[in-house]
Amino acid sequence: MSWRSLDASALEIGYSPSSCTGGDYSAFIAEYRSGSERAYATLHCERNLPYGSAPAERLDFFPASQANAPLVVYIHGGYWQELSKDESCFAANGFIEQGAAFCSIDYTLAPHASVHEMVRQCVTAIEWLHARHAMLGFDPNRVVVAGSSAGAHLAAMATLRLGSAAQTRRLIKGAVLLSGIFELEPLVQTSINQAVGLTRNDAIDLSPVYFPLADFPSAVVAWGGIETAQFKWQSQRFADLLRERDRQVTCIEVGHRNHFDIALDLGDRTTGLGQAVRALVDSTQGF
């Protein structure tokens, strides 16, 4: 159901992912943190590499065990105002075990930066990585960008903003978009916007649904079964638009997962989502 038929109260609930988890999501953040701590403790990581001059313009890079490996770049969620790369490396072990490199990037959070600026930072981080692929040891033709919630929005926007269609195809070969927000206008009317500060014009300019999608790379679009109807609609609509442009898209509803814990399946090849992501990464071979 489109958000346009909903009143302010329904929008507030529809865009509150914790409304499906009893109003509390701290346990899921704790899982992010413990998984990330395990990655830092057990894997080699180049921490806090600066991709720009702002304090938050840092990334953590986990090299693969072999050269010319694919790279998965993860952009964290948190409604553009919470979390960081430090809680967002929980998938690193899974991807390293599968022979891929992994990177988690930071960006400046609201209210200290606009969403426009966050998109710019994500684009800059991906360009920075590409420029250093030989030093970091990954294949620049096998880069997949992934994100959850607001991170899925930033991943989609960064892909769309990476210059010309030819450049986008060269830089990003796949996108994994988990429980994302692809039309931002309904958020303008919610409490989420108090920190984010979107105008309606901003929301339209920053909505992937309004961009030409004919050159969007192959994608996995997924959401949890335990999500609000609005979050499900956001993902389903974006996937439908990709299909209308004849793009390759795999859609998955993970029935037992919610808005927060769906990301824990990202690098886990024993799960349906993890297998779809693995297939997407494998499909980049030969580009």
Residue 68, Ramachandran bin (φ over 0: left; ψ between -120 and 50: alpha; else beta): left
pTM score: 0.96
Cβ 117 vs Cβ 67: under 8 Å: no
Whats the size of the chain, residue-wise?
287
**Which strand ranges, in their side-by-side order, compose the sheet holding 249-258?**
46-50, 58-62, 101-105, 69-75, 138-148, 174-178, 218-226, 249-258
Cβ 144 vs Cβ 70: under 8 Å: yes
pLDDT, mean of residues 263-273: 97
Give me the pLDDT at residue 239, please.
98
76 secondary structure, DSSP code: -
Tokens of 124: 């800059």
Name which of 54, 8, 18, 50 is nearest 190 in CA terms: 8
Give me the pLDDT at residue 170, please.
72
pLDDT in tens, 138-182: 999 999 999 999 999 999 999 999 855 566 567 899 999 999 999
Tokens of 108: 């400046």
- Taken in order of first residue, the domains within the chain and their CATH numbers are 3-284 (3.40.50.1820)
Q: Is the pLDDT of residue 264 over 60?
A: yes
